[in-house]
């Protein structure tokens, strides 16, 4: 009975270890996807900010020319 318990326990430990590594791999993949998404958002935000700056500069120049 004791040998059966030890075999079952060893199988249990191997299964837990495999599940842990599978979860870590999944987490790493999701983390990489999230970083990629955040980088894309950051690029879009910077582009929008640059467009707004250009628009404000143009408006400022137009107002100065009216003076």
- What's the rounded Cα separation, in Å, for the pair 51 and 64? 20
Three-state SS for the chain is CHHHHHHHHHHHHHHHHHHHHHHHHHHHHHHHHHHHHHHHHHHHHHHHHHHHHHHHHHHHHHHHHHC
* pLDDT, position 26: 92
The pTM of the whole model exceeds 0.85:
no
Domain ranges of the chain: 27-67
Give 6-62 pLDDT, tens digit per residue.
999 999 999 999 999 999 999 999 999 999 999 999 999 999 999 999 999 999 999
- What's the rounded Cα separation, in Å, for the pair 48 and 61? 20
């Amino acid at each position: 009975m004791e040998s059966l318990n030890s075999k079952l326990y060893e199988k249990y430990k191997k299964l837990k270890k495999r599940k842990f590594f599978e979860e870590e791999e999944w987490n790493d993949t999701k983390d990489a996807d999230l970083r990629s998404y955040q980088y894309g958002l950051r690029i879009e935000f910077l582009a929008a900010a640059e467009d707004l700056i250009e628009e404000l500069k143009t408006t400022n120049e137009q107002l100065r020319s009216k003076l």
